[in-house]
Chain A
Amino acid sequence: MNNLLEVNNVSKYFGDFKALNDVSVSIPKGSIFGLLGPNGAGKTTLIRIVNQITMPDSGSVILDGETLSQKHIMDIGYLPEERGLYKSMKVGEQAIYLAQLKGLSKAEAKKRLKYWFERLEIGDWWNKKIQELSKGMAQKIQFVVTVLHEPKLLIFDEPFSGFDPINANLIKDEILRLRENGATVIFSTHRMESVEELCDDIALIHKSNKILDGKLVDVKRQFKINTFEVGIRSNNQIALEKEISEKFSVSKANFKTLEDELKLNIKINPDENPNDLLNYLTQKGEVSHFVELIPSVNDIFIQAVNNS
């Protein structure tokens, strides 16, 4: 079994409102899986179904080869987007309580908490109340509580919100480390640059339907635009630009160069070989820049949502 989590044909209605329509996703073991979608698409509903907070109307969820049931609660760590802690409870007490709810013994919870608190250098918060801490501090504790019971599956919904860049980086490194240690991560966010950076696989949900999924590389290949960013030096740039634009579909490009080159985005047909383009260009001048444009997750997101 290569997939840690398999969501099969899950549908969920809230009254007349269809929150999820026959959605299936497979999350490979040890991957970081980006769950994307516009606001209100149904991501949270899907995550809640995986957490058994909401039950699906139809379809099934398989975790590590077994149908999802109560006993899997301790195999999952969930950091919801709407998160918080008991304001008037002390940090340590609270963390132990939440860990106990996930099935850890008190002693074990204490031991692991000590380790994590030292690791994140927050040991002296143990006896503070949450209301005395800043939002970012509380988020750190929330993160520790989520991962403390070392679950197989970690679900992070906007994990970086509320963190300054330094702490966001710290948390990012921790997530990567957890993955190295064998955890599988579902990562839901609107920050496309973090998806780009972290995710191996993605799924895009839009208006209750899954419209796209797969390995990030494959998805990018699928959205390939066959466009090359080109910089070329020539004595007569205006004439050259005119000549190229008669042959290819062209737009102005913008990137940094040393000289005052002609900068263009050149689109070729999918069946054309980029080498032909390069050959053609080298005959016309001195090529300083030749890069295939890869669609960003951001572009894919927008394009996929608009097309559906």
Chain B
Amino acid sequence: MNHLPLIIKREYLTKVKNKSFIIMTFLSPLIFITFIAVVAYLTQLNNDKVKVISVLDDSGLVRHVFKSTEHTSYNNLEGMSLNDAKALVQESEGYGLLYISKVSEGPIKSKNVTFYSEESPSITLISAIENKIQTELTLQNRINEGIDVEKLEASKVQIEINQESFKGEKTSKVDSVVKLIFGGAAGYLLFMFIIIYGNMIMRSVIEEKTSRIIEVIISSVKPVQLMLGKIIGTSLAGISQFVIWIILGGVLMTVASFVLGVDLAQMQTPQQQMVEQAMATPEINSEIQNIVTAFFNLPLLNLITAFILFFICGYLLYSSLYAAIGAAVDNETDTQQFMLPILMPLVLAVYIGIFTVIEDPHGTVSTVFSFIPFTSPVVMLMRIPFGVPIWQQVVSLIILIGTFMLTVWFAAKIYRVGILMYGKKPSYKELIKWIKY
């Protein structure tokens, strides 16, 4: 008798009908978006405040480069002693005072420039000011030395290297970024999925134990069937939740950005803004084009197939372990000691993915870890956008599936014994003994 569909259905419906699950499903995106919106709004608010900066330029060389902008207002002070200026700025509650001392001979040096302020000034502001002074002084130096500035500018050459693989696929720097985002997103998604729904499976196993229904159930169903049904049912509930989150998140994001007038998708850090300002407008168009081509340059078919396969196998591998833990203990507080060995490889995989795959997607470390079964789903998913030979993917997948079957067998053993054990928290030694039962 195959009860698997029945068990899956029950697990799914119980999860989906659960009040806290429903609340989580609909509230989380709302909370998340509200959070982003608030942060974005506050950042804007912060930027909206105009910083008043007084400039006392005794050298008279750079005074004219400080032009007020939307966020910063420069206030030129003249014929004033430094102390008076300081007092004035403090009194008027200005943001700070930029002081450039008189230079008797030679160029202005770092020691001649000081910024006085009540609190430590923001790094972006300081680097902006440094930039302004440097540019102006460099220009002045060149003029003084009799260099034709216009010629110098005109003689500048900009090179963007064309990248092409031996097979003739054109790539660009943007490609790498797009690949990184895809790989990273896939790996991270798996990581999150395992943690959230693995825990859910564990809790549902514990629930069956504490409500003591387990013995009734397994007099009708094989424990392995029950375990698999639980894993699959909960996963389906998880997928439903994820899909709702994505849809709801998209809708809310649009609504929120419309209402608040904040372009959430374009939310950037000041650094990014500076970089963007440096880029000329016409380039942005080609940039978008690059991203689009980069997207289609991705090995999409491979990516999607690999994503599905590695995601499923990786998830099942870990969730069977979660189920085994749930069966081994009586309540959630006892799970801690068994959680660590599960979380370690998972976290390791994410870190390896982030740090080594970016550096060198085909380096030794990332390659090796994309074969080790407990890290391979995450690391391999991150590597695949950069083009991993099919044989490597297949070998890795075979190892993963082999381990997965071994783990399910092992988990089922623990599960079978564990669900009927009440009372004390088992040690690792006892768990190993259970396997022999």
Interface residues of A, Cβ cutoff 8 Å to B: 14-15, 48, 51-53, 70-71, 73-74, 76, 78-80, 82-89, 97-98, 100-103, 142, 145
A14-B437, A15-B436, A100-B6 known; A73 vs B211 contact (CB < 8 Å): no
A89-B14, A97-B6 known; A103 vs B215 contact (CB < 8 Å): no
Across the interface, B216 reaches (CB within 8 A) one of A15, A83, A89, namely: A83
Q: How many residues of B contact A (CB 8 A)?
A: 24
The reply to whether B215 and A101 contact each other, CB–CB distance below 8 Å, is no
- Complex Cα distance, B165 from A245, in Å, reads 114
- Complex Cα distance, B218 from A87, in Å, reads 17
Contact with A along B160-176 (1 / 0, CB 8 A): 00000000000000000
- Complex Cα distance, B217 from A145, in Å, reads 11
B residues 416-435 in Cβ contact with A at 8 Å: 420, 422, 433
- Is B112 at the interface (CB under 8 A from chain A)? no
The reply to whether A103 and B219 contact each other, CB–CB distance below 8 Å, is no
Chain A neighbourhood of B18, CB < 8 A? 88
The reply to whether B220 and A73 contact each other, CB–CB distance below 8 Å, is yes
- Complex Cα distance, B207 from A15, in Å, reads 27
Chain B neighbourhood of A100, CB < 8 A? 3, 6
Across the interface, A85 reaches (CB within 8 A) one of B211, B219, B221, B436, namely: B211
The 6 closest A-B pairs by CB, nearest first: A84-B212, A101-B220, A80-B215, A84-B211, A78-B219, A51-B219
- Is B159 at the interface (CB under 8 A from chain A)? no
Chain A neighbourhood of B10, CB < 8 A? 97
- Is B87 at the interface (CB under 8 A from chain A)? no
- Complex Cα distance, B8 from A101, in Å, reads 12
Given contacts A15-B436, A74-B1, A86-B207, 19 further A-B contacts (CB under 8 A): A52-B219, A53-B219, A53-B420, A80-B219, A82-B422, A83-B212, A83-B216, A84-B211, A84-B216, A86-B14, A86-B208, A87-B207, A88-B14, A97-B6, A100-B3, A101-B217, A101-B220, A102-B220, A145-B216
- Is B301 at the interface (CB under 8 A from chain A)? no
Contact with A along B1-37 (1 / 0, CB 8 A): 1010010001000100010000000000000000000
Nearest to A97 among chain B residues (CB) is B10
10 A-B pairs, CB-CB below 8 angstroms?
A14-B437, A52-B219, A80-B215, A82-B215, A84-B212, A84-B213, A85-B216, A97-B10, A102-B220, A103-B1
Give min CB distance, A83 to chain B, whole Å.
6
Nearest to B218 among chain A residues (CB) is A53
Interface residues of B, Cβ cutoff 8 Å to A: 1, 3, 6, 10, 14, 18, 207-208, 211-213, 215-222, 420, 422, 433, 436-437
Chain B neighbourhood of A74, CB < 8 A? 1
Chain A neighbourhood of B220, CB < 8 A? 73, 98, 101-102
Nearest to B3 among chain A residues (CB) is A101
Give min CB distance, B428 to chain A, whole Å.
15
Chain A neighbourhood of B433, CB < 8 A? 15
Nearest to B217 among chain A residues (CB) is A101
The reply to whether A15 and B212 contact each other, CB–CB distance below 8 Å, is no
The SS class assigned to the B binding surface is loop
A70-B1, A101-B6 known; A86 vs B216 contact (CB < 8 Å): no
The reply to whether A71 and B212 contact each other, CB–CB distance below 8 Å, is no
- Complex Cα distance, B217 from A78, in Å, reads 10
Chain A neighbourhood of B219, CB < 8 A? 51-53, 73, 76, 78, 80
The reply to whether A78 and B437 contact each other, CB–CB distance below 8 Å, is no
Chain A neighbourhood of B3, CB < 8 A? 100-101
Give min CB distance, B337 to chain A, whole Å.
21
- Complex Cα distance, B185 from A34, in Å, reads 62
- Complex Cα distance, B221 from A307, in Å, reads 40
Give min CB distance, B321 to chain A, whole Å.
23
- Complex Cα distance, B211 from A88, in Å, reads 10
- Complex Cα distance, B212 from A72, in Å, reads 23
The reply to whether A85 and B14 contact each other, CB–CB distance below 8 Å, is no
- Complex Cα distance, B3 from A185, in Å, reads 26
- Complex Cα distance, B213 from A100, in Å, reads 15
Chain B neighbourhood of A145, CB < 8 A? 216
Nearest to A106 among chain B residues (CB) is B6
Nearest to A50 among chain B residues (CB) is B219
The reply to whether B213 and A71 contact each other, CB–CB distance below 8 Å, is no
The reply to whether A83 and B217 contact each other, CB–CB distance below 8 Å, is no
Across the interface, B1 reaches (CB within 8 A) one of A48, A52, A71, namely: A71
The reply to whether B215 and A53 contact each other, CB–CB distance below 8 Å, is yes
Chain B neighbourhood of A85, CB < 8 A? 211, 213, 216
Chain B neighbourhood of A83, CB < 8 A? 212-213, 215-216
Give min CB distance, B15 to chain A, whole Å.
11
Chain A neighbourhood of B420, CB < 8 A? 48, 53
Give min CB distance, A10 to chain B, whole Å.
15
Give min CB distance, A84 to chain B, whole Å.
3
Residue of B6, B10, B215 most packed against chain A (CB within 10 A): B215
Residue of A48, A53, A74, A101 most packed against chain B (CB within 10 A): A101
Nearest to A80 among chain B residues (CB) is B215
Give min CB distance, A105 to chain B, whole Å.
11
Chain B neighbourhood of A53, CB < 8 A? 215, 218-219, 420
The reply to whether B437 and A87 contact each other, CB–CB distance below 8 Å, is no
- Complex Cα distance, B213 from A73, in Å, reads 17
- Complex Cα distance, B18 from A97, in Å, reads 17
Give min CB distance, B203 to chain A, whole Å.
12
Give min CB distance, B334 to chain A, whole Å.
18
Give min CB distance, B8 to chain A, whole Å.
12
Give min CB distance, B186 to chain A, whole Å.
35
- Complex Cα distance, B217 from A86, in Å, reads 11
Give min CB distance, A305 to chain B, whole Å.
24
Give min CB distance, A92 to chain B, whole Å.
14
Give min CB distance, B406 to chain A, whole Å.
21
Chain B neighbourhood of A101, CB < 8 A? 3, 6, 217, 220-221
- Complex Cα distance, B220 from A51, in Å, reads 8
Give min CB distance, A141 to chain B, whole Å.
11
A53-B218, A101-B220 known; A86 vs B437 contact (CB < 8 Å): no
The reply to whether A80 and B216 contact each other, CB–CB distance below 8 Å, is yes
Chain A neighbourhood of B217, CB < 8 A? 98, 101
